[in-house]
Amino acid sequence: MALPIIIDCDPGQDDAVALLVALGSPDDLELLGITAVAGNVPLALTEKNARKMVELSGRTDVRVYPGCSRPMVGDLVTAEYVHGPTGLDGADLPEPLTPAAETHAVDFIIETIRASSDPITLCALGPLTNVAMAFVRAPDIIGRLAGLVLMGGGLFEGGNVTPAAEFNIYVDPHAARVVFTSGIDITMMPLDVTHQALTNPARVAAFRALGTAPGEAVAGLLDFFDRYDMEKYGSEGAPLHDPCVLAYLIDPSLFSGRRCHVEIVTDGPAAGMTMIDWWGITGRDPNAMVMGNVDAERFFALLVDRVGSLPGS
């Protein structure tokens, strides 16, 4: 039986790859809907970019629900310097024809969880604003969820937008605090894992060798996405962050980690920091399964397989 999921995202090249992996895995994942949040680029672009992925995959049965356009507190911070002004620079994709859903993402999350007879897993690939707002407005849904798998934070890697903070948590640390104190079963993919899942020329070439429109699009997106991190880190490629969430749901054996207590810093120079008690120093009860390792070769093989399963036109 396919696992029912909702993906909350802010595409972004790596979100786009994650969406294609999910859309190409109908036997494993029942994608009930995609909710968009402001993050990598403003909401008007993230929701449009999600619709582009739906159409590229041929899965127009999956609707996209626009959500929150700013964080719970403060002003929106975006990352065009990484993703380009469109958020999906690197692939020449047509404007989507399928309209966005009229229902707000937060309403969709609440209504879908309440109506489902099976526990749903939330997949959070961007700032946690939509998820936190749903939890604040409808705390009853927390106990109905199977869990939350998210990309965000850092342990030994620290941050990628400040010395302390990873981008997704930094954009809306108050939302992250709501989520991490909610009692929901959290699985966390921090920078420590995603920085092991590096693209390289051979891995990008494997997508292009599929000879399909989705494969070509992924290769183009990654060619653009790579250049920022290669210059920043001096690495051969870029960390493919968000697909880790979907790969974990398809094949958890790709990852290993441990249960830890995670606290979110909301203010001051360390705002957005995820204080992960990896060594159990505080004695506080764990509130997240924090992943620390990924089998990168098997990870990329899975991504190529699932993107390759999508229609070629």
Residues 6+ apart with CB under 8 A from 64: 33, 34, 35, 36, 47, 50, 51, 54, 98, 100, 101
Q: Going by DSSP bridges, is the β-strand pair 255-260/64-66 parallel, antiparallel, or unpaired?
A: unpaired
What pLDDT is stored for residue 235 in this prediction? 72
Q: Using a pLDDT cut of 70, give the percent of the chain over it.
A: 98
Q: Average pLDDT in the 217-228 region?
A: 88
What pLDDT is stored for residue 313 in this prediction? 52
Cis previous bond, 12, omega within 30: yes
Please name which of 129, 118, 116 lies closest in space to residue 168, comparing C-alpha atoms.
Answer: 129
Structure tokens at 84: 């380009």
Q: Average pLDDT in the 116-134 region?
A: 98
pLDDT in tens, 234-251: 777 889 999 999 999 999
pLDDT in tens, 40-69: 999 999 999 999 999 999 999 999 999 999
83 is catalytic: no
DSSP letters of 260-299? Answer: E-EEE--SSTTTTBEEE-TT--S-PPP-EEEEEEE-HHHH
pLDDT in tens, 248-286: 999 999 999 999 999 999 999 999 999 999 999 999 999
Q: How far is CA 144 from CA 6, 116, 124, 180, in A?
A: 14, 9, 17, 16
pLDDT band at 7 (very low <50, low <70, confident <90, very high): very high
**Integer Cα distance of 17 and 36 in angstroms:** 15
Q: What average pLDDT does the chain have?
A: 96
**Residue located via tokens 């404007």:** 95
Please name which of 270, 93, 249, 60 lies closest in space to residue 165, comparing C-alpha atoms.
Answer: 270
Please name which of 187, 168, 185 lies closest in space to residue 264, comparing C-alpha atoms.
Answer: 168
Write out the H or E segment, with its range, that includes residue 31: strand 29-36
As to burial, measured by CB atoms within 10 angstroms (0-12 exposed, 13-18 middle, 19+ buried), residue 28 is middle
What pLDDT is stored for residue 234 in this prediction? 74
Bridge partners (DSSP) listed for residue 263 = 275
Query: 83, 195, 241, 261: which is the annotated catalytic residue?
Result: 241
Structure tokens at 252: 């958890």
How many residues in total does the chain contain?
Answer: 313
pLDDT band at 1 (very low <50, low <70, confident <90, very high): confident
Q: How far is CA 309 from CA 25, 109, 207, 211, 225, in A?
A: 8, 28, 11, 12, 23
Question: What CATH code would you report for 3-308?
Answer: 3.90.245.10
Q: Average pLDDT in the 229-238 region?
A: 74
Structure tokens at 161: 């937008």
Structure tokens at 308: 């390759």
Q: Average pLDDT in the 99-128 region?
A: 98
pLDDT in tens, 173-186: 999 999 999 999 99
CB 163 within 8 A of CB 126: no
Which phi and psi angles does 263 have, rounded to 5°?
-120, 140
CB 48 within 8 A of CB 24: no
pLDDT in tens, 19-35: 999 999 999 999 999 99
Bridge partners (DSSP) listed for residue 291 = 257
What pLDDT is stored for residue 237 in this prediction? 81
**Integer Cα distance of 264 and 103 in angstroms:** 30
**Residue located via tokens 């605090």:** 177
Q: Going by DSSP bridges, is the β-strand pair 64-66/121-124 parallel, antiparallel, or unpaired?
A: unpaired
How many beta carbons lie within 10 A of that of residue 100, not counting itself?
Answer: 18
Query: Where do the domains of the chain lie?
Result: 3-308
Q: Average pLDDT in the 210-214 region?
A: 96
